[in-house]
């Protein structure tokens, strides 16, 4: 069964709003100048790498920003220029929220369950509601729309889980799947931050109730579905999503010793999976090997782990930043001896890393039957011509530098719309954005 990756395309408004509580990289780089052109081209290069390994690589479109309908609903009257001017003066942080570029992190787009895991033998997807923070919650409607365009002819695309209380559903960033191979029924592990109605001092974004809802709607086998709480220690250290302290692909799972709140519960999960998955390989990274601070700072476990087609080997796609840590270099040198990982690739995605997103954050993973693969909307799948055409559009429309005050300038709105118009024409998607209606 092929694995397919969809990367979030970086928009022309890529900026550092510093909006994400608990995300140390986002907070530390807030309101610094960004480079939308560099960020978008770095994302394209990572997608090319995955495509070059023989994997199917797709993309999600940038979202329209800012959302003027939301501003009108909040009582800002007048034409768009007047509204932009008013909100810039009165509530600049609100403008930052409605100009967020965080939809580029496709791992938060939703949760995917392959048909082999579902009792009705149909693929299921639930777009994330991202309800814990305003700047992310505005993504769910357009993400749902895109997923219907891409996957709607194959399986079930559910509506997002209704907003709960203090936490939401943050998608695949808090979800692990293990199996002997992608085409065999596997085990799904949902990592959460406790009940939606339990408020804690730190932001724990994934609600237990949301995870349960996704699993139930996907009709997963309860005997092969697990729920475990993320460790507060990891969250305090900056692991705002669990994919910063753990990762999994097929029969391999790598996790830090401080990833889960109840290690004995995870030990039980490991034993249950290993009893039914003889080739399961769980690798724990102790604090003696690599301390939690370096795991979070380097985004080592936010690397993208893929299976190399037609082999039993895997490739780990890492952010270049891991090379700044001697303990990590030593651990990586031994990794091929203890795992199925035979190839290491390093990518420069600094623009994303500065906002708190590594290689795994940028991608949404789907495991499809070959018959399902043929039913995907090919308009969202890369080929050599699309790579070149999108790079050309980026060079034409994206700024080299974007400063925080540029969000208050209506010319950025015009440039963004010109790009999105050219993009939808290139892909023959019709009028899908609000400004095109």
Return all residues near 154 (Cβ < 8 A) that are at least 6 apart: 123, 368, 372, 375, 376
Are residues 147 and 109 in contact, defined by beta-carbon separation less than 8 angstroms? yes
Q: Kindly state the DSSP code that residue 265 receives in the 8-state scheme.
A: H
Compute φ and ψ for 39, nearest 5 degrees: -60, -45
Kind of pairing between the strands at 3-8 and 56-60: parallel
The DSSP secondary structure of 98-121, one letter per residue, reads HT--GGG-GGGSEEEE-GGGBTTS
Strand partners, 228: 191
Are residues 40 and 101 in contact, defined by beta-carbon separation less than 8 angstroms? no
Distance CA 270, CA 108 (A): 25
**CB burial of residue 145 (10 Å; 0-12, 13-18, 19+):** middle
Distance CA 252, CA 358 (A): 20
Kind and range of the H or E run holding 41: helix 36-52
For the beta sheet containing 314-319, the strands, ordered from the edge strand earlier in sequence to the opposite edge, are: 304-307, 314-319, 341-347
Instruction: Tell me: cis bond preceding 66? Omega within 30 of 0 counts.
Output: yes
Query: Active-site positions?
Result: 170, 241, 361
CA angle 307–313–315, rounded 5-degree value: 55
Are residues 64 and 433 in contact, defined by beta-carbon separation less than 8 angstroms? yes
CA-only gyration radius of the chain, Å: 21
Distance CA 261, CA 255 (A): 13
Distance CA 75, CA 275 (A): 59
Distance CA 302, CA 355 (A): 14
Distance CA 151, CA 199 (A): 35
């Amino acid at each position: 069964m092929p694995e397919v990756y969809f990367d979030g395309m970086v928009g022309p408004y890529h900026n550092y709003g510093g909006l994400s509580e608990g995300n140390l990289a986002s907070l530390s780089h807030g309101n610094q100048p960004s480079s939308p052109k560099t960020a978008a081209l770095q994302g394209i290069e990572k997608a090319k790498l995955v495509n070059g390994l023989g994997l199917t690589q797709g993309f999600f479109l940038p979202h329209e920003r800012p959302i003027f309908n939301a501003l009108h609903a909040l009582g800002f009257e007048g034409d768009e220029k007047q509204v932009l001017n008013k909100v810039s003066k009165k509530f600049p942080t609100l403008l930052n929220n409605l100009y967020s570029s965080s939809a580029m992190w496709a791992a938060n787009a939703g949760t995917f369950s392959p048909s082999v895991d579902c009792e009705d033998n149909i693929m299921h997807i639930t777009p994330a509601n991202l309800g814990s923070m305003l700047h992310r919650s505005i993504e769910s409607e357009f993400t749902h729309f895109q997923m219907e365009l891409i996957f709607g002819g194959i399986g079930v695309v559910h509506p997002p889980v209704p907003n709960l209380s203090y936490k939401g559903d943050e998608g695949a960033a808090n979800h692990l799947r293990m199996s002997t191979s992608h085409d065999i029924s596997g085990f799904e592990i949902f990592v959460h931050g406790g009940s939606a109605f339990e408020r804690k001092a730190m932001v724990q974004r994934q609600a237990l109730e949301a995870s349960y809802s996704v699993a139930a709607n996907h009709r997963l086998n309860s005997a092969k579905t697990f729920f475990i709480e993320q460790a507060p220690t990891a969250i305090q250290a900056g692991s705002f999503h669990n994919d910063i302290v753990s990762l999994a692909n097929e029969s391999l799972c790598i996790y830090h010793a401080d990833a889960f709140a109840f290690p004995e519960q995870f030990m039980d999960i490991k034993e249950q999976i290993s009893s039914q998955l003889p080739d399961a390989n769980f690798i724990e990274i102790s604090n003696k090997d690599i301390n939690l601070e370096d795991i979070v700072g380097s985004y080592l476990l936010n690397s993208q782990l893929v299976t190399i087609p037609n082999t039993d080997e895997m490739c780990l796609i890492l952010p270049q930043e891991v090379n700044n840590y001697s303990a990590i270099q030593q651990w990586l040198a031994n990794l091929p001896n203890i795992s199925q990982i035979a190839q290491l690739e390093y990518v420069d995605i600094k623009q994303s890393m500065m906002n708190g997103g590594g290689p795994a954050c940028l991608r949404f993973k789907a495991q499809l039957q070959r018959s399902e693969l043929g039913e995907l909307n090919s308009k969202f799948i890369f080929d050599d011509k699309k790579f070149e055409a999108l790079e050309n559009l980026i060079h034409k429309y994206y700024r080299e530098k974007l400063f925080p005050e540029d969000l208050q300038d209506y010319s950025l709105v015009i440039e963004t719309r010109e790009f999105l118009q050219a993009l939808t024409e290139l892909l023959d998607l019709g009028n899908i954005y609000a400004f095109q209606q």
